[in-house]
Amino acid sequence: MSQADAIHVRCPGNLGFLGVILARFFSRYRVAKYAGQWNGYAGENLTGRLQRWLLKSWWWGAPVTVYGDWKNQPPHIHSFFTSMMSDEQVESAVIHARDKMFSCPLRALFSGRLVAEKRVHVFIEAIASVAASGVELEVRIVGDGPLRSELEALARARGIDRFTRFVGAVPFEQSLEHYHWADCLVLPSVHSEGWPKVIAEAMCHGLICVAVDHGQVARMLAGRGILLPNGDPQQFVTALKSIAEDLTKYRELGQQASLWSQRYSRDGLRLALANLLQHTWGVQLVTNAPSSPSPKLDSAEVLLNE
């Protein structure tokens, strides 16, 4: 920190927590991103609540970007929404969505970490029930994590392994190919998502997204996807069967999703964040124009130019 012109802290997380406490000792040029639910959720751990409290307080006293518009927030709290896709990738996705035709068998996708919080087992159980009702399906699970072996065993036990592919972890650019393939994206998690970029990216490709009402999911899917009230497994079964039974209706919904989500890109975020920092820091920033082919962060990279 002592060698940095500016400090960016990402929360919630252990390193972010440490950064919130220490950053003000090293630089007045500070910015934080809170990537979880800014309004909290049932069962949230103490450190997450404490990080939000610190970021709102005078101690941090610098811009904080959060997902969602929230009432009665300090003036340094700013709403930001984003995608990992570049402008060029967004343009390609919109073209793909425009020409997209839903298929039979229905192609269902999960993309994310294979951890307990993502509730991938609910997705697998729902797929098994939908298949048992006679709906033809193809399934891809993109991502890796400590539960992969357990989830693969569950797929075999439920008899869906013959049409379910565990892809594993892939670079971001390759993950976009699975959006091209899929008809719908299922995100079973019930808390902590904030603004799920995977939903924004799938919507841009014209997919029907099925997700549980929490964080900013309702704002994203209102009239543009299938929003489930509490994530009960039967709700996912009903949603998937509904898509399979009326592909024409849901193709039109996918078009609406693509039109809405194309406003969000990594390049747009870079410019918006640079403008925010210029205004609040009182300095001139020079953005690094070239986009990294494999981005690790979804924030702007800036150089101080006082």
> Does residue 2 form part of some domain?
no
Sequence-distant (≥ 6) Cβ neighbours of residue 30 within 8 angstroms:
6, 7, 8, 9, 23, 24, 60, 61, 62, 63
Residue 298 has pLDDT above 80, yes or no: no
Q: In the chain, pLDDT over 70 holds for what percent of residues?
A: 92
The reported pTM is: 0.75
Same domain, 106 and 212: yes
- Which pLDDT band holds residue 289 (cuts at 50, 70, 90)? very low
Same domain, 112 and 17: no
Same domain, 78 and 91: no
User: Per this entry, what is the length of the chain?
Assistant: 306
Q: Give residue-wise pLDDT tens across range 228-256.
A: 998 899 999 999 999 999 988 898 899 99
> Does residue 287 form part of some domain?
yes
Count of domains observed in the chain: 2
> Does residue 1 form part of some domain?
no
Q: What is the DSSP track for the chain?
A: -TT-SSEEEEESSHHHHHHHHHGGGT-S-EEEEE-S-TT--TT--HHHHHHHHHHHSTTT-S-EEESS--SS--TTEEE----S--HHHHHHHHHHHHH----SSEEEEEES--SGGGTHHHHHHHHHHHHHTT--EEEEEEB--TTHHHHHHHHHHTT-GGGEEEEE---HHHHHHHHHH-SEEEE---SS-SS-HHHHHHHHTTPEEEEES-TTHHHHHTTTSEEESS--HHHHHHHHHHHHH-HHHHHHHHHHHHHHHTT--HHHHHHHHHHHHHHHHTSEEEE--SPPSS-S-SS--EEEE-
Same domain, 292 and 241: no
Q: Give me the chain's average pLDDT, please.
A: 87
Predicted local distance difference test score (pLDDT) of residue 237: 97
Q: Give residue-wise pLDDT tens across range 91-144.
A: 888 888 888 888 789 999 999 999 999 999 999 999 999 999 999 999 999 999
Sequence-distant (≥ 6) Cβ neighbours of residue 231 within 8 angstroms:
119, 122, 188, 189, 190, 212
Same domain, 95 and 113: yes
Q: Do 218 and 207 contact (CB within 8 A), yes or no? A: no
Q: Give residue-wise pLDDT tens across range 184-199.
A: 999 999 876 667 889 9
Same domain, 70 and 91: no
Q: In the chain, pLDDT over 90 holds for what percent of residues?
A: 58
Same domain, 151 and 137: yes
- Which pLDDT band holds residue 287 (cuts at 50, 70, 90)? low
Question: Domain range holding 140?
Answer: 87-261
Predicted local distance difference test score (pLDDT) of residue 103: 79
Rounded to whole angstroms, the Cα distance separating 177 from 174 reads 5
Predicted local distance difference test score (pLDDT) of residue 263: 80
Predicted local distance difference test score (pLDDT) of residue 303: 32
